[in-house]
């Protein structure tokens, strides 16, 4: 193998290693909430309409239901149905905005992911005015007492990734 071939191969392998390392880091950091009795909230503001966003909330099945979610016992099924309905119908008590924004939450999707051991709920959010610079409140304390930390990602003009070391708090969308 010539000198240039070796150099080219080292360059290709280095690039592949960096790419794989970055992918592993990004997927593990987005699942950090699973390890810390946390919940994950992501809000993406529309690039064309500053008053519209997509809201996503994820949490471990065990923290949501208090069990692994697989039980067929009627009382466990009732808990699961109660939690699922609560998330679908009361998301505005978990993730809320200033009253003058008059935000409407439109249910989009609910997913029970047995493989990743998490539940995910998505909503479209339509507010009366621009969401940039506005405060968003998080409160998991009422229904989800096992949630001890909130990881959030707010994507507006600037991306904000952070966490709160309790089950309620707030942040500002940039």
pLDDT value of position 68: 83
Residues 40 and 108 in one domain: yes
Residues 22 and 80 in one domain: no
Residues 48 and 23 in one domain: no
CA-CA-CA-CA torsion sign (123, 39, 111, 153): positive
Residues 5 and 68 in one domain: no
pLDDT value of position 70: 81
Burial class of residue 97 in the structure, from the number of CB atoms within 10 Å of its CB (0-12 exposed, 13-18 middle, 19+ buried): buried
Percent of the chain with pLDDT over 90: 65
Residues 78 and 109 in one domain: yes
pLDDT value of position 71: 77
Residues 87 and 128 in one domain: yes
Give the Cβ contact number of residue 155 at 10 Å: 17
Residues 12 and 60 in one domain: no
pLDDT value of position 2: 59
Does the pTM surpass 0.85? The reply is no
Give me the number of domains the chain comprises: 2
Residues 85 and 130 in one domain: yes
Residues 84 and 25 in one domain: no
pLDDT value of position 69: 80
In order along the chain (174 residues), what is the average pLDDT of each group of 10 residues? 52 42 39 78 94 96 87 88 95 96 97 91 97 96 92 93 93 93
Residues 122 and 45 in one domain: yes
Residues 54 and 126 in one domain: yes
Q: What angle do CA 121, 83, 31 make, to 5 degrees?
A: 45
pLDDT value of position 19: 37
- CA atoms of 165 and 59, how far apart (whole Å): 15
Domain with 4, as residue range(s), is: 1-30
């Amino acid at each position: 193998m010539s000198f240039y071939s070796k150099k080219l191969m080292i360059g290709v392998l280095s690039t592949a290693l960096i790419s794989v390392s970055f992918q592993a880091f990004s997927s593990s950091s987005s699942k950090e909430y699973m390890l810390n009795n946390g919940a994950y909230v992501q809000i993406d503001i529309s690039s064309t309409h500053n008053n519209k966003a997509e809201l996503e909330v994820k949490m471990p099945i065990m923290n949501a239901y208090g069990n692994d979610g697989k039980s067929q016992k009627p009382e466990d099924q009732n808990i699961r149905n109660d939690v699922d309905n609560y998330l679908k119908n009361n998301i505005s008590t978990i993730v809320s905005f200033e009253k003058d924004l008059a935000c409407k939450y439109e249910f989009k999707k609910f997913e029970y992911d047995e493989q990743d051991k998490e539940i995910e709920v998505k909503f479209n959010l339509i507010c009366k005015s621009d969401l940039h610079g506005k405060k968003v409140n998080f409160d998991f304390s009422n229904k989800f007492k096992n949630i001890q930390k909130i990881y959030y990602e707010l994507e507006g003009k600037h991306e904000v990734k952070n966490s709160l070391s309790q089950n309620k708090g707030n942040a500002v969308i940039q």
